[in-house]
């Protein structure tokens, strides 16, 4: 996945236009436009502003397009935990769900596409 595609994904996930995104991270709108079009590569300052403004964006993923091994291992552990302790985790998940509101669900696929779901 190219940096342009990762940037577009961040825009889509946060429902931002390129100009709103530029305003939010504090760069010129033309900078965002040039990176999205592939004309320019993003500077370190540009990437830092994205990471500081959107702390949930993984810096390693943003820069390389790869998920860090640590995160991949955590995901595998969560799958194992879910299979082994499904009953005990269901109760705690229900408690967490009741106190939190789901805003958006995003599914990422191996072919680098994704689907976004909003609660109705």
Tens of pLDDT, residue by residue, the chain (120 residues): 899 999 999 999 999 999 999 999 999 999 999 999 999 999 999 999 999 999 889 888 899 888 766 555 555 565 555 555 555 555 555 555 556 777 778 787 777 777 777 776
CA dist 11 → 35, 86, 94, 115 (Å) = 13, 35, 31, 14
Q: In the numeric block, which tokens belong to residue 103?
A: 């805003």
Helix axes 44-53, 18-25, angle to 10 degrees: 90
Q: Are 101 and 109 in contact (CB under 8 A)?
A: no
Domain 3-64 architecture: Orthogonal Bundle (1.10)
Q: In the numeric block, which tokens belong to residue 12?
A: 């889509």
All CATH 1.10.260.40 domain ranges in the chain, comma separated? 3-64
Model-level pTM?
0.57
Distance CA(64)–CA(71), nearest Å, equals 14
């Amino acid at each position: 996945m190219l940096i342009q595609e990762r940037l577009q994904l961040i825009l889509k996930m946060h429902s931002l236009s390129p100009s709103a995104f530029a305003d939010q991270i504090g760069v010129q709108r033309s900078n965002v436009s040039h990176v999205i079009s592939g004309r320019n590569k993003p500077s370190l300052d540009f990437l830092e502003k994205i990471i500081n403004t959107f702390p949930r964006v993984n810096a390693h993923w943003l820069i390389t397009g790869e998920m860090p091994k640590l995160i991949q291992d955590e995901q595998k552990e969560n799958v194992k935990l879910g299979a082994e302790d499904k009953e005990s985790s269901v109760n705690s998940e229900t408690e967490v769900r009741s106190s939190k509101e789901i805003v958006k669900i995003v599914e990422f696929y191996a072919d680098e596409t994704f689907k976004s779901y909003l609660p109705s």
